[in-house]
């Protein structure tokens, strides 16, 4: 899929920041700078993969976009409507957008209320948005959704703990689908599941996308999973977006040093090719997002860092058509 001016932008994020206020001793305030000045677009019908190490801010970004958590500043536009503007913070009624924008959580067992039956969990979403007329239509809709995600209709009367992790994630997907969304944030939806189940869930998400015309933001720390499902990929490091490009471009012609290190850690199924792959080992720990490094946040671990990298934040540029990165040496 080639993204050019003819592709409709569904979601636009501009200079988004999310800081978490943390209290420190003697009344001193400090901030975890989880997301810092991130801008990107998601086109209608695509899957935008978002990768980076744990703690890089990708989950925070996903939640801020759909306003499950309140951004600190920046701007978010959904289908032409501004749903957050840090410059002009007015109260946007999010109820209509809650129906259009859904989320599938990483840990299905923690995201399902253990005191509710599966039917009640899915039905709650229908109730909130009044998406049925009469009890029969509600029941039929719940049964259709269970069937759609590969569960039995009699599962509606059971509780989440009676299901395996894969089945619980299917329930989470049915709940997200219940309100007929357009856009779904898939927040590491397979990382808590057995490898044998992961591909089933990914295939189901792909089938649903084709059938229902959905748009996904697919968050993962595993570049090989993201490559399989994504149209384009964004790479985050310590709250910053460092590279965005077409999925194959990122995989075969990554530009940013951090993306290259992530790629070098992806195992290749061919043992010969694996032997010839040059691993790039990152030195040191991930710095604290409370006090991130000056200039390029990656400079403390980057094998190519120069003096300028410590002093100046690299500019976000289109290095090649539709391939963006922020690095002084590109």
Residues that bind ligand SF4 (CB under 6 A): 257, 296, 298-299, 302, 304-306, 309, 314, 327-329
Q: Which is nearer to ligand SF4, 66 or 305 (CB)?
A: 305
Could you tell me the smallest distance in angstroms from the CB atom of residue 307 to ligand SF4? Answer: 10
Could you tell me the smallest distance in angstroms from the CB atom of residue 293 to ligand SF4? Answer: 9
| Token couple for 62 | 């996903």
H helices present in the chain, as ranges? 58-65, 95-100, 108-111, 118-128, 134-148, 165-177, 195-212, 223-229, 247-253, 257-264, 271-276, 307-311
Q: Which is nearer to ligand SF4, 113 or 318 (CB)?
A: 318
Are 262 and 243 in contact, with CB atoms under 8 Å apart? no
Q: Which is nearer to ligand SF4, 162 or 307 (CB)?
A: 307
Are 237 and 302 in contact, with CB atoms under 8 Å apart? no
The whole-angstrom separation of Cα 257 and Cα 244 is 13
Are 156 and 123 in contact, with CB atoms under 8 Å apart? no
| Token couple for 201 | 């869930």
The whole-angstrom separation of Cα 122 and Cα 141 is 9
CA angle 188, 289, 297 (to 5 degrees): 95
Could you tell me the smallest distance in angstroms from the CB atom of residue 237 to ligand SF4? Answer: 8
Could you tell me the smallest distance in angstroms from the CB atom of residue 315 to ligand SF4? Answer: 10
The whole-angstrom separation of Cα 316 and Cα 258 is 15
Q: Which is nearer to ligand SF4, 143 or 243 (CB)?
A: 243
Q: Which is nearer to ligand SF4, 11 or 302 (CB)?
A: 302
Q: Which is nearer to ligand SF4, 298 or 316 (CB)?
A: 298
């Amino acid at each position: 899929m080639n993204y050019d001016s003819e592709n409709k932008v569904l979601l636009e994020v501009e200079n988004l920041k999310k800081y978490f206020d943390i209290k420190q001793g003697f009344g001193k305030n400090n901030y975890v700078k989880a997301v810092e000045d991130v801008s990107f677009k998601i086109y209608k019908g695509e899957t935008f993969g978002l990768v980076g190490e744990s703690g890089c801010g990708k989950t925070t970004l996903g939640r801020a976009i759909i306003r499950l958590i309140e951004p600190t500043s920046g701007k978010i536009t959904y289908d032409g409507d501004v749903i957050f503007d840090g410059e002009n913070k007015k109260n946007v009624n999010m109820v209509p957008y809650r129906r259009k924008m859904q989320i599938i959580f990483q840990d299905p067992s923690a995201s399902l209320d253990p005191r509710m039956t599966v039917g009640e969990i899915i039905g709650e979403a229908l109730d909130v948005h009044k998406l049925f007329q009469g009890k029969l239509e509600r029941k039929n809709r719940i049964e259709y959704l269970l069937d759609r995600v590969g569960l039995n209709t009699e599962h509606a009367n059971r509780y989440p703990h009676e299901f395996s992790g894969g089945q619980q994630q299917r329930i989470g997907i049915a709940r997200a689908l219940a309100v007929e969304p357009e856009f779904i944030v898939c927040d590491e939806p397979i990382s808590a599941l057995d490898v044998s189940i992961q591909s089933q869930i990914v295939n189901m998400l792909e089938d649903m996308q084709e059938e229902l015309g959905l748009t996904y933001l697919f968050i993962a720390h595993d570049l090989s999973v993201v490559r399989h499902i994504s149209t384009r990929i964004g790479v985050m490091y310590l709250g910053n977006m460092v590279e965005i490009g077409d999925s194959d471009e990122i995989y075969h012609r990554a530009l940013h040093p951090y993306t290259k290190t992530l790629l070098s850690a992806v195992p290749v199924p061919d043992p010969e090719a694996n032997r010839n792959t040059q691993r790039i080992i990152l030195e040191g720990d991930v710095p604290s997002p409370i006090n991130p490094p000056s200039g390029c946040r990656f400079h403390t671990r980057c094998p190519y860092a120069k003096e300028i990298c410590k002093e100046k934040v690299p500019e976000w540029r289109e290095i090649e058509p539709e391939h963006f990165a922020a690095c002084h040496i590109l």
